[in-house]
A and B are shown apart, each in its own frame.
Chain A
Amino acid sequence: MLSKTFLCICASFLLTLPALAQEEGELAIDFSGIELTRGDTITLSDYRGRVVFVDFWASWCLPCLVSLPAYEKIRNELGTEQFEIIAINVDENTEDGLEFLEDNPVSYPVIADPEGEIGIPYKVRSLPVSYLIDQQGEVVASYRSFSPGDEVELKRQIQSLFLP
């Protein structure tokens, strides 16, 4: 039957199972970065009191072609009094991200993160990935990928967090 070596390896695997990464219900990891087009510093915690949607994207990410304009539409419809979007561009070459924004302009702040200083702590493994953060800075939902029509449910979730 199974050897002792094999069973020891399996046991050590199970004993060292680490805790999950940042989950819904946890405080969002704070970050700062320079806004790509305007050059001002953007810090997540400065948006406490508003609902924030943090979106990681890149110019080579095909669903991002659809998601960025959809998020822009949501922001235009909901306004920025209670809500803001912060986009994190992870292109290795930031110029690629800027070119993408020329063709797909957005009015919300975009931060460049080519080295993963924000993306790695957020455990970004594939794109697009985004987080919905409430007024207290708590992650209330996370989203992977994007399909046309997803923005309807997203808008509803954002509005449900708004204060009366």
Chain B
Amino acid sequence: MKTVMKTILISLSLFVLQMASTSSSFAATCSCAGVPLLSAMDTSSTQPGDLYLNYSTEIHEMSDLVQGSDEIRDETGLSRSSVSQVISASYGLADKWTVSGLISYIEHERSVGISAFSKNSSSGLGDGVLLLRYTPFYITPFSRHELSFGAGARLPIGKDDDGGLFTLSEDMQPSSGSVGEIYWSSYSYAFNQAATVQFNVSANYTINDDENSRKYVFGDEINFALGISQNIGSKFAYSAGLRYRQTTADERNSFEIPNTGGKWLDFVPGVQYIFNDKLSVGVSGRVPLVRDLDGVLQFTTSYSYAVNLSYAF
């Protein structure tokens, strides 16, 4: 009996969630759909006059149904995914100053069951990010430490009202439709003079107090990451790290949106092939380890993986 009730409850919740995704008058189902743009940005310090270009594409599967910290069996066969393509650039303005920017193209897709009518999708330009960074000291042959601070903004370049007659919910929109303030910091330590083995810890905080055209305000977001990276010879490198992410609940008209916000801890591995001192290609992934999500039920990250290509001019 208990199992039947649980199934009914989940199915009912999923029905509500699906309804919400097709109408702007309902809440976004979760804040997890926010594409992690900052992770696609190269945040290492850049020498004066140097320009780095990076292209990355990330496939983000978000079909895990979670109640608090527990994954619940999804009876509906809901599938939710995003593909983000990000082009970022970093330019060394001066000895300790770097400016970075990115633009994104986002594709969202959500379907329940096999009916063609239960499928929603959107695509288009997403948000952009502009970040100014100050690096008071950086890793050199004479220094093992690097510290950076930065501030910037997330800018709504793309559309946030996709969906035609039935505007899709906020988490299905390519762009957030609102400006966010970004504060960022990073510290790296090189274990040897050649800096082939490094420890890195970084944190960023995004304040979202700007509402979009539909009076929706995304929750504030904190990311904290630590990891280690190592170059093997001149051609290969790998990295492994942990990323903690916490978001507060989204709001509309100052009322909290249920089933938004939470805490995530992910394992983030990566490998890189270095063609030469200008060109490299890398593959990285994100595997959820622990999550503690607000509200009754949320669909959240199952896994994600990204491929990126970097070129230094």
Distance in angstroms between the alpha carbons of A21 and B138 in the assembled complex:
15
> Could you give, for residues 250-283 of chain B, a 1 whenever the CB lies within 8 Å of some chain A CB and a 0 otherwise?
0000000000000000000000000011000000
B48 to A20, Cβ gap below 8 A?
yes
Interface set, chain B 60-108, CB cutoff 8 A to A = 93-97
* Cβ–Cβ < 8 Å partners of B139 in chain A: 125
Whether, in the assembled complex, A9 has its beta carbon less than 8 Å from a beta carbon of chain B, the answer is: yes
- Asked whether any CB of chain A lies closer than 8 Å to the CB of B153, the reply is yes
Q: How far is the CB of B251 from chain A (nearest CB, A)?
A: 16
In contact, B151 and A13 (Cβ under 8 angstroms): yes
- Note all chain A residues with C-beta closer than 8 A to B151: 6, 9-10, 13
User: Which chain A positions have C-beta within 8 A of B234?
Assistant: 62
Q: With A2-B153, A6-B151, A60-B193 known to touch, is A17 a contact of B140 (CB < 8 Å)? A: no
Q: How far does the Cβ of B151 sit from chain A's closest Cβ, in whole Å?
A: 5
The answer to whether the Cβ of A115 comes within 8 Å of any Cβ in the partner chain is: yes
Report how far A92 CA is from B141 CA in the complex, Å. Answer: 8
**A61–chain B nearest beta-carbon distance, Å:** 7
Asked if B181 contacts A19 (CB within 8 A), the reply is no
B236 at the interface (CB under 8 A from A): no
A152 within 8 A of B: no
Which residues of chain B have C-beta atoms less than 8 A from A62's C-beta? 234
CB-CB nearest in chain A for B151: A9
Q: Is A127 an interface residue (CB 8 A)?
A: yes
| Interface 0/1 of A124-164, CB less than 8 Å to B | 11110000000000000000110100000000000000000
The answer to the question of A123 belonging to the interface, with a C-beta cut-off of 8 Å to chain B, is yes
User: How far apart are the CA atoms of A147 and B234 in the complex, in Å?
Assistant: 13
Bound CA–CA A13/B153 (angstroms): 14
Q: B140–A124 contact, CB under 8 A?
A: yes
Neighbouring A residues of B276 by C-beta, 8 Å: 147
Partner of A20, one of B95, B141, B142, B193: B95
- A103–B152 alpha-carbon span in the complex (Å): 50
Give the complex CA separation of A145 and B234 in angstroms: 13
- Residue in A10, A18, A60, A145 whose CB lies within 8 Å of B277: A145
A125–B139 Cα gap in the complex (Å)? 7
Q: A1-B179, A9-B151, A10-B151 are in contact. Are A116 and B96 (CB under 8 A)?
A: no
- Of A6, A13, A21, the residue contacting B181 (CB under 8 A) is A6
On whether A127 and B141 interact (CB within 8 A), knowing A3-B207, A10-B132, the answer reads yes
Q: Is the C-beta of B232 less than 8 angstroms from some C-beta in chain A?
A: no
**Which residues from B are CB-within-8-Å of A55?**
none
> A74 vs B97: C-alpha distance in the bound complex, in angstroms?
36
Max chain A Cβ within 10 angstroms of own Cβ: one of B47, B193, B209, B234: B193
In the complex the two chains form, is B142's CB within 8 Å of A119's CB?
A: yes
A17 touches B93 (CB 8 A): yes
Q: Is the CB of B138 within 8 A of A125?
A: yes
B194 on the interface (CB 8 Å rule)?
yes
Q: Which B residues are CB-close (under 8 A) to A119? A: 140-142
Check if A3 sits within 8 Å of B209, measured CB to CB.
yes
Nearest first, the 8 closest Cβ-Cβ pairs linking A and B are A116-B142, A60-B194, A6-B181, A90-B141, A145-B277, A125-B140, A9-B151, A62-B234
Give 10 CB contacts A-B under 8 Å: A2-B210, A9-B151, A10-B152, A17-B93, A17-B94, A58-B194, A60-B192, A119-B140, A120-B140, A125-B139
